[in-house]
Amino acid sequence: MKLGFVGLGKMGENMVENILAHRHEVVVYDLSEEAVEKLAGKGASPAESLEKMVAQLAVPRVCWLMVPSGEPVDRTLDSLLPLLEDGDVVIDGGNSSYHDTVRRSKTLAERGISFMDVGTSGGLEGARNGACMMVGGDREVFLSLVPLFRDMCVSGGYGYMGESGAGHFAKMVHNGIEYGMMQAIGEGFDVLQNSGFVFDHQEVARVWANGSVIRGWLMDLVARAFEKDGELGYLSGEIADSGEGKWMVETALEKGVAIPVIADALFRRYRSRSKDNFSDKVVAALRHEFGGHGFTPKEK
């Protein structure tokens, strides 16, 4: 296949290399000329603008977007749409909100353009060597793109999730599960760390990664992290979040589904970034008021 690819960040770059390795043709565009040139050096056709990218594609055109979710996607679509025509396909491979996807697919459909949402998992390594893709949108278009998905993904690692939005919805749920799993793993090692035994975290993770019920890629990665430093002394405990966990909890509220574990995992991330947490201060103050219990004075 031949396709246009917009957005050459960490994920995008790895995906383009992956596609090229499978002998597809890719016309690449990014706001960063450097990023474009870098991939040109690896076999991609560089484009200086969206116009020039589109001009190199034969109809029906396939354009893959790999840009940050939210406004950047809308902005890219605004520029791209006037250049496309009936029958073309736009793929959003990023972490977009499924609400946005449903909205965008309607707008594009009005112009005869198919909008496919592809939730992509597997990290940078997956992007380069074999990812997992959850695809939403028109089923016929999905089928026409299977040769691409088959090459970009590990065996069995792609599938049709349903109508427009279902791909990003599945990715959001995937990330929610991921939050819960990671928190459970974190809690486990915290108990080991405070056990009174002298555990070698790297050794524990390595053993668990092989043959246990909880084996899987996350455990492989824990083992790898502890290989670098068994006490993780190089980083602080502040955990960032990129928003998909938040969408997951919002969606559960919207649908009335109880997800205590995934929500708690998200809240622990918020808590990890909260210095001098006000909730905790209120509780400490309350204890002092009713019981005359002492408190830890604020550090100067």
Footprint (CB under 8 A) of a second copy, residues 178-217: 178-199, 203-204, 206-217
Asked if 36 and 28 touch (Cβ cutoff 8 Å), the reply is yes
Instruction: Specify whether 33 is catalytic.
Output: no
Nearer to a second copy, 21 or 221 (CB): 221
Q: State the Cα–Cα distance between residues 168 and 47, nearest whole angstrom.
A: 28
- Residues within window 50-79 making contact with a second copy, judged by CB under 8 A: none
User: 57 vs 247, which CB is nearer to a second copy?
Assistant: 247
Length of the chain: 300
Catalytic one of 10, 38, 178, 289: 178
Catalytic pick among 13, 171, 244, 246:
171
Q: How many residues bind a second copy (CB under 8 A)?
A: 134
Structure tokens at 253: 């509220």
CA 290/CA 237 separation, integer angstroms = 33
Q: Classify each residue of 188-205 as buried b or exposed e, where b means 16 or more C-beta atoms within 10 Å of its C-beta.
A: ebeeeeeeeeeeebbebb
Least spacing, CB of residue 49 vs a second copy, in Å: 28
How many whole angstroms separate alpha carbon 192 and alpha carbon 165? 41
Question: Interface with a second copy includes 274 (CB under 8 A)?
Answer: yes
- What count of other Cβ atoms lies within 10 Å of the Cβ of residue 293? 10
Segment interacting with a second copy, rule: CB under 8 A, options 33-41, 57-65, 75-83, 281-289: 281-289
Binds a second copy by CB under 8 A, chosen from 31, 55, 124, 146: 124
Determine which residue in the list 31, 65, 221, 244 makes contact with a second copy, applying CB under 8 A: 221
Who's near 52: CB < 8 A, 6+ residues apart?
Answer: 29
Residue 300 in contact with a second copy, rule: CB under 8 A? no
Least distance to a second copy, CB of residue 175, Å: 8
CB 130 within 8 A of CB 104: no
Q: Does the footprint of a second copy cover residue 298 (CB under 8 A)?
A: yes
Q: Classify residue 117 by its DSSP letter.
A: E
Binding to a second copy by residue 130, rule CB under 8 A? yes
Long-range contacts, stretch 28-36, CB < 8 angstroms, 24+ apart: 28/4, 28/53, 29/4, 29/5, 29/53, 30/6, 32/8, 35/8, 35/9, 36/8
What is the nearest approach in angstroms of a second copy to the Cβ of residue 155? Answer: 7
One character per residue 143-162, x = contact with a second copy (rule: CB under 8 A): ----------xxxxxxxxxx
- d(Cα 239, Cα 259) in Å, to the nearest integer? 20
- Return the number of the residue (33 or 190) whose C-beta is nearest a second copy: 190
**Rounded to whole angstroms, how far apart are CA atoms 90 and 3?**
10
178 included as an active-site residue: yes
Among 34, 41, 58, 278, binds a second copy (CB under 8 A): 278
The reply to whether 128 sits near a second copy by the rule CB under 8 A is no
Task: Point out the residues that are catalytic.
Answer: 171, 178
